[in-house]
Structure 1
Amino acid sequence: MARRVGYLCNTCGYTYTSIDEIFWVDDYGHVIVKPLVKSTSAESSNAAIKGFFARYYCYECQKFINKFIIYKKSSDIDDGKIIQLIEQYDDNPKIIQFDDEFQRCLECGSELPSKADYSFALDVDDEFHIGEDDYDFSKGEKFKFAGVYHGYFCSNCKKQINKFVITENKAEFSDSQIREILEKHTNDLTIFIRRDFDICPDCGEEVYYLDQNSTCPNCRRDSLTIVDHMMVD
């Protein structure tokens, strides 16, 4: 079931409609993008490559950016081939992201299964928390930075990989500062940092998913308000 939401700028009359969408690659190598409803879920069920599709907006370039988040892929298909197929979908700029849990060994390139998944945070008192059942990771105002941890182990290289996906960085630390802090709270293991906010592939500025209270992309003087909301199946 897909959620469809209509937005309006009360200042300039600009309208925008968003809908939950998925994508998949069919047997002919064509990328299909459709709303997430029963029929499309069934149609895409056997696809070797599938994921979520979303449209983001770059205020700097004043254009929409297509984002493809891949959560299922056949091990027989190289990641580079998947990217090539998606790049051919249309002429719009694209962000192509493999699901956070996908990870290859940084030494041998083998695809690794996730062994551990935890929330983590550095609070305002500089205390580091990871995977603590009695700690409230939802209170973002108490964090300097926070995110999700994925742990991997490569049996070929005997190497542990710690992947930290940064979702909040209110202290505006640089990657090197975050890495230094993380290294103080882990053993001598490989640390890999990835941020979950998205960057325009053309200008390098952050892009945004338009929703309620987003700045109107047309006039930049008002925020978008919801004028229509319904579930589609």
Structure 2
Amino acid sequence: MARRVEYLCNSCGYTYTSIDEIFWIDETGQVNIKPLVKSTSAESSIAPVKGFFAKYYCYGCQKFVNKFIIYKKSPEMDDGEIIQMIEDSSDDSKIIQFDDEFQRCIECGSELASKADYSFALDTDDEFHIGEDDYDFSAGNKFKFAGIYHGYFCSNCKKQINKFVITENNANFTDSEIKAVLNEHTNDLTIFIRRDFDICPDCGEEVYYLNQNSTCPKCRKDSLTVVGHMMVD
């Protein structure tokens, strides 16, 4: 079931409609983008590649950017092949990502399953917390940075890989500063950092998902308000 929301700018009359969408690549290599309803859910379930789809807006370029997040793929399909299919599907600007839990071994290239998933945070007292059941990881204003940790182990190479997805960076640390803190608490093991915000592939500015209270893309004088909402199935 897809959620359809209509927005309006009261200052200039700009309208925008969003709807929950998915995408899949069928056996012929065609990229399909459709609302998440019963029929499309059934069709995508047998596709070799499927994922989430969303439109983001770049205020720098004043245009929409399509985002594809791949969360299921056939083992026979190469990552680069999938990316190329999506890139070739249209001339629109695109952000293409694999789901946070997707990870390949940096030594042998094997796909790895996540063995551990924890919340982590560096608080304002410079205390590092990870996977503590009695710690409140939702109190974001007391964190310098925070996010989700995924741990992997390659049985072929006997190698541990630590992946940190940064969801908050209230102290505006650079990647180097974040990695320095993480290295202190992960025994200098391999570390990947991925942020939860997205960058426009054309101008390098941050892109945004338009919703209630987003600045109007047209006049930039007022915020969008919800004028219609319904569920579609």
Q: TM-score range by the shorter chain?
A: over 0.9
Counterparts of 1:39-54 in structure 2, within 5 Å, are: 39-54=39-54
1:95 is matched with 95
2:153 corresponds to 1:165: no
Correspondence for 1:34: 34
Residue 133 in structure 1 maps to residue 133 in structure 2: yes
Question: Match for residue 209 of structure 2?
Answer: 209
Q: Deviation above 4 Å: which 4+ runs of structure 1?
A: none
Q: Residues of 1 paired with 2:123 and 2:229: CA distance?
A: 37
Name the SS for the 2:199 alignment partner: coil
Query: Which residue pairs with 1:82 in the alignment?
Result: 82
Quote the Cα distance in structure 2 between the aligned partners of 1:183 and 1:71: 28
Q: Hey, what's the Cα distance between the residues in 1 that align with 2:100 and 2:124? A: 26
- Aligned partners of 1:44, 1:87: CA distance in 2, in Å? 19
Moved more, 27-36 or 187-196: 187-196
1:65-106 CA deviation, whole Å, 9 max, x = no partner?
A: 000000000110000000011112211100000000000111
Q: How far apart, in 2, do the equivalents of 1:226 and 1:23 lie?
A: 26
- Helix, strand or coil for the counterpart of 2:188? coil
Partners of 1:129 and 1:119 in 2: CA distance = 8
CA distance in 1, matches of 2:6, 2:125: 42
2:19 paired with 1:19: yes
How far does residue 130 in structure 1 lie from its aligned partner after superposition? 0.6
Structure 1 residue aligned with 2:62: 62
Once the two structures are TM-superposed, the CA of residue 112 in structure 1 deviates from its matched residue by: 0.8
Per the normalisation by structure 1, the TM-score is: 0.98
Q: Identify which range, 187-196 or 70-79, moves more after superposition.
A: 187-196
Secondary structure of 2:5 counterpart = strand
User: How many residues were matched structurally?
Assistant: 233
> Aligned partners of 1:6, 1:105: CA distance in 2, in Å?
43
Displacement, 1:188?
2.9
Aligned to 1:86, what secondary structure does the other structure show? helix
Identity of aligned residues (%): 81
User: Structure 1 unaligned runs (5+)?
Assistant: none
Deviation at 1:35, TM superposition (A): 0.3
Which residue pairs with 2:195 in the alignment? 195
Letter in 2 for 1:167: T
Shift of 1:109: 1.3
Instruction: Specify every segment of 5 or more residues in structure 2 that has no aligned partner in the other structure, as ranges.
Output: none
User: Partner of 1:222 in structure 2?
Assistant: 222
Larger displacement relative to structure 2 (211-220 or 188-197): 188-197
Q: Aligned to 2:217, what secondary structure does the other structure show?
A: coil
